[in-house]
Chains A and B, each alone.
Chain A
Amino acid sequence: DIVMTQSPDSLAVSLGERATINCKSSQSLLYNSNNKNYLAWYQQKPGQPPKVLIYWASTRESGVPDRFSGSGSGTDFTLTISSLQAEDVAVYYCQQYYTNPPYTFGQGTKLEIK
Chain B
Amino acid sequence: EVQLVESGGGLVQPGGSLRLSCAASGFTFSSYAMSWVRQAPGKGLEWVSYVSDNSGGTYYADSVRGRFTISRDNSKNTLYLQMNSLRVEDTALYYCAKDWVSGVVDYWGQGTLVTVSS
| Residues of A that sit less than 8 Å from B by CB | 1, 38, 40, 42, 44, 49-52, 55-56, 61, 91, 93, 95, 97, 100-108
Q: Is the interface of A mostly helix, strand, loop or mixed?
A: loop
Q: Given the complex, which residues of A lie within 8 Å of B80, measured CB to CB?
A: none
Query: Are B59 and A100 interface neighbours, CB within 8 A?
Result: yes
Q: Which of B35, B60, B105 is the one whose CB lies under 8 Å from A52?
A: B105
Query: Are A102 and B104 interface neighbours, CB within 8 A?
Result: no
A101 with B104, Cβ < 8 A, contacts A49-B110, A50-B45, A93-B45 known: no
A-B pairs with beta carbons under 8 A, tally: 61
Which stretch in B14-22, B46-54, B71-79, B84-92 binds the other chain?
B46-54
Q: Is the interface of B mostly helix, strand, loop or mixed?
A: strand
Q: Given the complex, which residues of B lie within 8 Å of A56, measured CB to CB?
A: 101
Give the complex CA separation of A100 and B102 in angstroms.
Answer: 9
Query: Are B103 and A97 interface neighbours, CB within 8 A?
Result: yes
Q: Interface size bucket, B side?
A: 20 to 34
Q: Given the complex, which residues of A lie within 8 Å of B26, measured CB to CB?
A: none
| Residues of B that sit less than 8 Å from A by CB | 35, 44-50, 59-62, 95, 100-106, 108-111
Of all chain B residues, which has the CB nearest A56?
A: B101
Q: Given the complex, which residues of B lie within 8 Å of A104, measured CB to CB?
A: 47
Closest 8 CB pairs of A and B: A97-B103, A49-B108, A101-B50, A102-B47, A101-B59, A108-B44, A105-B45, A102-B61
Query: Are A101 and B46 interface neighbours, CB within 8 A?
Result: no
Give the complex CA separation of A91 and B42 in angstroms.
Answer: 11
User: Closest approach, in angstroms, between the C-beta of A49 and any C-beta of chain B?
Assistant: 4
Residue of A55, A91, A102, A107 with most chain B CB atoms under a 10 A cut-off: A102
